[in-house]
Copies of this chain bind each other. A is one copy, B any other.
Amino acid sequence: MADEEVKVLSTWSSPFCLRVVWALRLKGIEYEYIEEDLSNKSPLLLQYNPVHKKVPVLVHNGKPVCESFVILEYLDHIWKQNRILPDHPHERAMARFWARFGDDKLLHLFTMTAIKHGKEKEEAFEAVLECLKALEEEVKGKKFFGGEEIGVVDLCIGWLVNLGSLFEEAADLKMLDENRFPSLLKWIDRFSKAPIIKDELPSRDKLASTLHLALKSLK
């Protein structure tokens, strides 16, 4: 589509932004990337997302779309190439369900394993293993969560490929165990090496220090 102006307000370390950047690249949409400094939010961010004041924000021909899931749905609605949501209504519902799963449960629980102690840490650890088991069952026998091609669930759970092991280090716990979750570990390897995905993965070292600071502020 010609004459489309697409901008994305983003922060390199955010898993919520990463999925939007991946989707833009997978669909081959030309866009302007604007890095936001969240410690000093730009007037543009405050103008386009006055309610949450958060990244990512997609700006399409001057109109903002906020919230990463909402952006992914929007991108798939407007740009039909390399669809990330299935067409079949029930498969579409299931994809939406799993796309939210990582944010609603796993990301929070990983954080708890890293900042809590004693019984709370233990409970978070057990709950993380339950989540990983659910993902293992979901990806078993498939190349990607989306089937043969990368879909919305892969994009949304994609932060796991580098943040997962960083959370393990921060919590000093083995969670991504290849004997327990062989299909999930194979997916991590496959997804992180996929074209476009690997180009946009932030450096693990750089991400480690950002995560370290973020977890410290929560302790």
Contact = CB atoms under 8 A, between A and B. Distances in A.
Interface stretch (A38-46, A91-99, A143-151, A162-170): A91-99
A74 B93 contact: yes
Contacts of A5: none
Nearest to A60: B90
Contacts of A92: 73-74, 77
Contact of A78 (B71, B73, B89): B89
A101 interface: yes
- Interface of A, helix, strand, loop or mixed by DSSP: helix
Interface residues of A, number: 26
A123 interface: no
Interface in A79-114: 89-90, 92-94, 96-97, 100-101, 105
A71 B94 CA distance: 10
Interface of A: 50-52, 60, 63, 65-67, 69-71, 73-74, 77-78, 89-90, 92-94, 96-97, 100-101, 105, 134
Given A60-B90, A70-B100, A73-B92, 15 more contacts: A50-B134, A51-B101, A52-B105, A65-B90, A65-B97, A66-B97, A67-B100, A70-B93, A70-B97, A73-B93, A73-B96, A74-B89, A74-B93, A77-B92, A78-B89
